[in-house]
Amino acid sequence: MERRDIIVVGASAGGVTALKDFVQNLPKDFKGSVFIVLHIPPYTESRLPMILSKAGPLEAVHPQDEEEIMPGKIYVASNDYHLLIARDKVMVKRGPKENRFRPSIDALFRSAAYIYGSRVVGIIFSGILNDGVSGLWTIKQHGGLAIVQNPDDAEQPQLPQNALEYVEPDYVKPASEIGPLISQLVSEKAPKQKQLPEKELKQLEAEVLIAMKGNAFEMGIINLGEFTPFTCPECHGALVKLAEGDIIRFRCHTGHAYTASSLLAEVSELVESDLWRSLRTLEEMTMLLSNIGEQFEKMNNPEAASLFYAKAKESTKRARNIHDAVFLQNKYSEDLRLNHL
């Protein structure tokens, strides 16, 4: 009898405390397998397995690629690698980033839903933006359960709030109560697998394979969505729009994926970066014009020197306008709306 024994967990900023509260309340004889993605910088080695092993009774590890899935074990994503699930195996792959992250919560959740369907329980803890919301929606579509940390209990409530807005949860609990809840759910019989439209299954299969192999163009991603006028901030490839219920996402033909919110956040950062680059270029032009003016002055050509000094002053004024624009530029995402509610 198949049970709800595949537990996938996503967290971002403020998530370590919630994860510790979660694992310390799991029993020693836990029958399920737990898979965790916590957003960490690619240049930082994760110490989360050690932290979680000390916090609770179960062993937590960074798995090897194609390691066999075992009950009573916690598998933690390594930095700069997606943690994915295949049939009876853990997959550790360096596929394209999703929502600016690798590892990505969405990538883990989708792979679990695709392989194990109604056996999956998805959990969202503290974090920002909305990586994990699309994946949680997919788990629900495939008959799995969705659990969200109560935003009032989260150090960073934005991710739980986004999940609650787009996905109908089965449970909303403080982190400390989710461990005992999972211990009960893992003994439940998983319902019969849901029959989903072929188009939806084809898109899910393609996105899981893209996370594993990065072959989005070969997988025909450009035929699975609607072409947009937007380009990928990562590689400047064309973006297609994908719709999941009320969730709008984008994926480029090389494989990078974004929710509307993460795309907006990335574009707003690029605007600031471009403004700084423009400021630097104008200041370099000012210095060059001044140097040429000085050279003409040394050559006893005051008319030419005056011309270049005047152009240097014009360049300085333009640079000052760009400087002011840099400090007026804001970083945007959908969380802007949440912060004003």
Catalytic residue among 5, 21, 131, 335: 131
Nearest to 75 by CA among 17, 135, 7: 7
| Set 12, 118, 126, 134: catalytic member | 12
Residue 233: asked if its preceding bond is cis (omega within 30°), the reply is no
**Smallest Cα–Cα separation from 142: which of 207, 191, 89, 108?**
191
DSSP string, 291-315: HHHHHHHHTT-HHHHHHHHHHHHHH
Rounded CA-CA distance 204/192 in Å is: 19
12 given a catalytic annotation = yes
Contacts of 328 (CB under 8 A, 6+ apart): none
Taking the C-alpha atoms of residue 44 and residue 249, their distance in angstroms, rounded to an integer, is 28
Catalytic residue among 33, 39, 261, 335: 39
By annotation, the residues acting in catalysis are 12, 39, 131
